[in-house]
């Protein structure tokens, strides 16, 4: 039987790059089972541990060497796995991404996915006494992690609302402002302070 050659490529479909290649041990002959230096099942598992998801694999352990070496060439295709992180279940770099041996990147912990925006209203009465009213609004967002690269894609913050505040009336005085309007709070809103005087 003639000596044959076989090869297998591992390809990242997201980047269109070849991750690695493997060839047979050079001892294959027509009709014999194809063997590579590293068992493709182990290589696939190694890539899955790095965050890849298997798409297709046209190599079977029952494949034998064919007379045409072009028929002895195989491809394994992967895509990047992704993991969603929700604000109620944030992650830290000490946590492992499920199905991999990799840790979550920085950027998906509690403070990255939850924040409180506060409007502080100070009512300063004519005698100089100050009454402070706090209007905190908690915003949340989710994130998607690329399991291979660690790149994070954030979804939009949800929205909230600072309720309208009616300024207390004091006989003989005019408050300024007369009221504090209701305001929609979003991801771009910063903490605010409103001082009411008479």
Pick one of 2.60.40.4300, 2.10.10.100, 3.40.50.150, 1.10.10.10 as the CATH number of 85-196. 2.60.40.4300
| Cα torsion 13, 15, 18, 19: sign | negative
Please check the confidence at residue 145 and state whether its pLDDT lies above 80: yes
How far is the C-alpha of 121 from the C-alpha of 12, rounded, in Å? 55
Per residue in 152-197, pLDDT (tens digit) is 999 999 999 999 999 999 999 999 998 999 999 999 999 999 999 9
Per residue in 6-17, pLDDT (tens digit) is 999 999 999 999
Whole-angstrom CA distances from 63 to 6, 29, 33, 73 are 11, 12, 6, 11
Q: Which pLDDT band holds residue 25 (cuts at 50, 70, 90)?
A: low
Q: Which residues of the chain form CATH 2.60.40.4300?
A: 85-196
Task: Please give the pLDDT value at position 1.
Answer: 82
**The whole model's pTM is what?**
0.84
Three-class SS state of 131: strand
Q: Which CATH architecture has domain 7-80?
A: Roll (3.10)
- In the predicted model, what is the mean pLDDT of residues 44-49? 98
Where are the alpha helices (H) located in 12-109, listed in sequence order? Answer: 40-49
């Amino acid at each position: 039987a003639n000596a044959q050659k076989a090869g297998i490529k591992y390809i990242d479909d997201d980047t269109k790059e070849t991750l690695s290649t493997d060839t047979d041990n050079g001892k294959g002959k027509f009709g014999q089972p194809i063997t590579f230096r590293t068992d493709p099942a182990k290589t696939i598992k190694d890539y899955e541990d790095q965050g890849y998801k298997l798409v297709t694999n046209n190599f079977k352990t029952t494949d034998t060497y064919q007379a045409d070496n072009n028929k002895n060439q195989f491809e394994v295709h992967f895509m990047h796995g992704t993991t969603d992180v929700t604000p109620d279940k944030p992650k830290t770099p000490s946590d492992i991404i499920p199905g991999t041996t990799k840790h979550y990147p920085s950027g998906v912990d509690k403070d990255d996915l939850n924040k409180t925006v506060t409007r502080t209203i100070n009512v300063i009465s004519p005698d100089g006494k100050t009454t402070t009213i706090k209007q905190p609004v908690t915003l949340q967002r989710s994130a998607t992690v690329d399991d291979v690269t660690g790149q994070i894609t954030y979804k939009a913050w949800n929205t909230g609302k600072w309720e309208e505040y009616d300024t207390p009336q004091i006989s003989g005085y005019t408050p300024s402002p007369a009221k504090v309007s209701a305001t929609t709070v979003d991801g771009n809103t910063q903490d605010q302070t409103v001082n009411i005087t008479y």
